[in-house]
């Protein structure tokens, strides 16, 4: 995170939340500044250390540093969550579909996978529910990420004993489609038309790696007891990650600037939802096994038709 982005966050928090505003104590001395409080919070997220590890750096006690962390994460979610952890708009979907088609997967709008975060201080009564295969309890994050590492969906809190399919069954990732709120998508693969976009599975490791590299707090075992506070930390890290992605990308084509060229003939169409189908009908479409197998076969044929003529790369490349 560069300095200008961090200072913008500090300024916004100091304007919106009383906790981050500069005050005076009973003796007339100034209390901790907004910069000190936000620095204490961001260092705990970035380095994953204990709250008392920053007492000399920002001259702050352990209890105050922990309060700064929880107020900071709650403030980030409140101020920036709607913008940086939103559902894709029709313009977003057009860009995601264009990127997917360029990479050889027409109709693909991202990749979905799960990540486990070790919960070191999980309550003893819950350890059996959150431990799978080992004696280390974990909490699962399900995420959808695009090619540019922007995370579009985050579902956190499932116990580590669940596998990916169980978590997907609990996840709200398809709720917008089932409830009729998601934009309609139409695309062609191998000459056949489809009206539901799809995700690739087990292809988000790069996004998880970058998220953990930026915020060691979600890479190291968590020492907190409160599951709700753990959820706030994870969501705040994802929001900050998306803010960094937007701030640092140079070749990224912003949503408002995305336009199809006059000579382009895309194989997809995105429209506002007409909400004609029933909820049960949309749920059946999402769970259509025959449609999934047909799409899989069409993708194989489409990829082979486009790239099958290319020579194989040497084994040492």
Measure the CA–CA gap between 205 and 114, rounded to whole angstroms.
9
285, burial (CB in 10 Å: exposed 0-12, middle 13-18, buried 19+): middle
Question: What would the two tokens of residue 249 be?
Answer: 């990308």
- Which of 73-77, 141-145, 214-218, 312-316 is predicted with the least confidence, judged by mean pLDDT? 312-316
Sole residue written with tokens 């409140």 = 78
Instruction: Answer yes or no: do 79 and 91 share one domain.
Output: no
Do residues 204 and 98 share a domain?
Answer: yes
Please give the Cα distance from 242 to 27 (Å, whole number).
42
Instruction: Look up residue 154 and give its two tokens.
Output: 């985050």
**Confidence band of 314 (pLDDT split at 50, 70, 90):** low
- Note whether 125 and 172 are same-domain residues: yes
Residue 294 lies in a domain: no
260 is a domain residue: no
Confidence of residue 261 (pLDDT cuts 50, 70, 90): very low
**221 and 233 belong to one structural domain:** yes
- The residue range of the domain holding 48 is 3-83
Q: How confident is the model at residue 275 (pLDDT cuts 50, 70, 90)?
A: low
Question: In the numeric block, which tokens belong to residue 293?
Answer: 């197998």
Considering the domain architecture, whether residues 15 and 96 belong to the same structural domain is answered as no
Residue 82: is its pLDDT beyond 90?
Answer: yes
> Is residue 57 very low, low, confident or very high in pLDDT (cuts 50, 70, 90)?
confident
Q: Do 107 and 144 fall into the same domain? A: yes
Predicted local confidence at residue 276, as pLDDT: 58
Instruction: Flag whether 306 is in a domain.
Output: no
Within a domain: residue 263? no
> CB within 8 A of 304, min separation 6: which ones?
none
Proportion of the chain above pLDDT 90, given as a percent = 54
CA distance 295 to 286: 13
Tell me the pLDDT band of 258, cut-offs 50, 70 and 90: very low
Q: How confident is the model at residue 248 (pLDDT cuts 50, 70, 90)?
A: confident
pLDDT for the residue numbered 54: 80
- Residue 102 and residue 70 in one domain: no
74: confidence class by pLDDT, cuts 50, 70, 90: very high
pLDDT tier for residue 273 given thresholds of 50, 70 and 90? low
Window from 5-9, 260-264, 294-298, 308-312 with minimum mean pLDDT: 260-264
Give domain status of residue 307, yes or no: no
171-229 confidence digits (pLDDT tens) = 999 988 888 888 888 899 988 999 889 999 878 889 999 999 999 999 999 988 899 99
- Which pLDDT tens digit goes with each residue over 19-50? 999 888 788 888 889 999 999 999 999 998 88
Residue where one domain finishes, among candidates 28, 54, 83: 83
**Of 19-28, 101-110, 165-174, where does mean pLDDT reach its minimum?**
19-28
- Answer whether residue 236 shows pLDDT above 70: yes
Do 138 and 241 fall into the same domain? yes
Q: Per-residue pLDDT averaged across 145-169, rounded?
A: 93
- Give the pLDDT confidence score for residue 55 in this predicted structure: 76
- Domain end, chosen from 230, 253, 276, is at 253
Is the pLDDT at 257 greater than 60? The verdict is no
C-beta atoms surrounding 111 within 10 Å: 21
State whether 173 and 247 are in the same domain.
yes
Range scoring the smallest mean pLDDT among 88-92, 226-230, 277-281: 277-281
- How high is the pLDDT of residue 317? 42
Q: How many domains is the chain partitioned into structurally?
A: 2
| Closest alpha carbon to 96 in 235, 199, 206, 225 | 199
Q: Which residue, 57, 83, 109, sits at the end of a domain? A: 83
pLDDT, residue 5, reads: 93
Does one domain contain both 134 and 197? Answer: yes
121 falls within a domain? yes
pLDDT at residue number 77: 97
Average pLDDT over residues 249-268: 49
Is 197 within a domain?
Answer: yes
Confidence of residue 267 (pLDDT cuts 50, 70, 90): low
- Do residues 166 and 246 share a domain? yes
Q: Is residue 16 part of a domain?
A: yes
Q: Indicate if 245 and 124 belong to the same structural domain.
A: yes
Q: What is the mean pLDDT of the chain?
A: 86
The average pLDDT across 241-254 equals: 75
Q: What mean pLDDT comes out for the span 108-120?
A: 93
């Amino acid at each position: 995170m560069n300095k200008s982005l961090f200072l913008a966050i500090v300024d916004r928090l100091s304007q919106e939340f009383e906790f981050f505003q500069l005050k005076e104590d009973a003796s007339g001395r100034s209390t901790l500044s907004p910069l000190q409080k936000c620095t204490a919070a961001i260092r705990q997220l970035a380095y994953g250390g204990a709250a008392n590890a920053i007492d000399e750096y920002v001259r702050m006690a352990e209890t105050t540093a922990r309060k700064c962390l929880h107020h900071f994460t709650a403030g980030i979610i409140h101020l920036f969550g709607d913008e940086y952890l939103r559902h894709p708009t029709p313009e977003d979907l057009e860009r995601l579909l264009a990127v997917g088609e360029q990479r050889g997967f027409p109709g693909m709008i991202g990749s979905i996978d799960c990540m486990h975060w070790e919960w070191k201080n999980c309550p003893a009564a819950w350890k059996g529910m959150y431990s799978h295969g080992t004696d280390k309890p974990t909490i699962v994050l399900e995420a959808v990420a695009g090619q540019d590492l922007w995370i579009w969906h985050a579902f956190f809190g499932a116990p580590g004993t669940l596998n990916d399919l169980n978590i997907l069954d609990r996840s709200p990732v398809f709720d917008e489609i089932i409830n009729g709120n998601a934009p309609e998508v139409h695309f062609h693969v191998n000459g056949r038309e489809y009206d539901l976009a799809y995700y690739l599975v087990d292809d988000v490791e790069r996004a998880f790696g970058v998220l953990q590299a930026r915020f060691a707090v979600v890479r190291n075992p968590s020492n907190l007891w409160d599951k709700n506070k753990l959820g706030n930390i994870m969501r705040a890290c994802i929001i900050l990650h998306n803010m960094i992605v937007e701030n640092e990308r140079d070749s990224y084509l912003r949503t408002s600037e995305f336009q199809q060229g006059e000579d382009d003939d895309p194989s997809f169409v995105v429209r506002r939802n007409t909400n004609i189908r029933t909820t049960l009908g949309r749920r059946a479409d999402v769970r259509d096994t025959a449609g999934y197998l047909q799409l899989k076969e069409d993708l194989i044929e489409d990829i082979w038709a486009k790239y099958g003529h290319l020579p194989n790369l040497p084994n040492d490349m």
